[in-house]
Amino acid sequence: MKKYIVLFLTLLLAACYVPYYENYKDSPLIETAKASCHYNYTYHDYVWYFDAWVHYPHYEFEDVSEVWAEVYDGYHLVDVFPLSRDREKFWTSWWIEEAETNLWCGDPYEINFIAVDDYGNYDVMTVRPYYN
């Protein structure tokens, strides 16, 4: 009987053991993100900027395959913008409002930044745009 109790406790403890490195999230982590809209005199129009800083634990930054921004007006999807990697974890893009977007500078949008890795793992961060 003691043998079975010891075996049961060993299996129970082994099932509950989680190595330290597995406590980290194995997916991209959006550290911070921002969206802004500013008037640009060169284009005689407003320009939208989308920036995200994406951290990737355990692996190389190259494993982050995509980052994009989805712009919502309430529950309505207004537009989607892909971001490009500029430096290790910095992703960015900018768009001329009238020519390239369905946006209106000053409207109360919510922007979901989404980062996806090569394995299908993802992270989402929601921000409100900054207007200048």
Inside any domain, residue 10:
no
Inside any domain, residue 80:
yes
Inside any domain, residue 14:
no
Range of the structural domain that residue 28 is part of: 24-131
Q: CA-to-CA distance for 74 and 65, rounded, in angstroms?
A: 28
User: Which residue do the tokens 């900054």 mark?
Assistant: 130
Inside any domain, residue 78:
yes
The string of pLDDT tens digits covering residues 75-103 is 999 999 999 998 888 999 999 999 999 99
Q: CA-to-CA distance for 62 and 117, rounded, in angstroms?
A: 9
Q: What is the pLDDT of residue 60?
A: 62
The string of pLDDT tens digits covering residues 43-72 is 999 999 999 999 877 656 567 889 999 999
Q: What are the b/e assignments for 1-25, b being 16+ CB within 10 Å?
A: eeeeeeeeeeeeeeeeeeeeeeeee
* Count of domains for the chain: 1
Q: What CATH number has the domain bearing residue 64?
A: 2.60.40.10
Inside any domain, residue 73:
yes
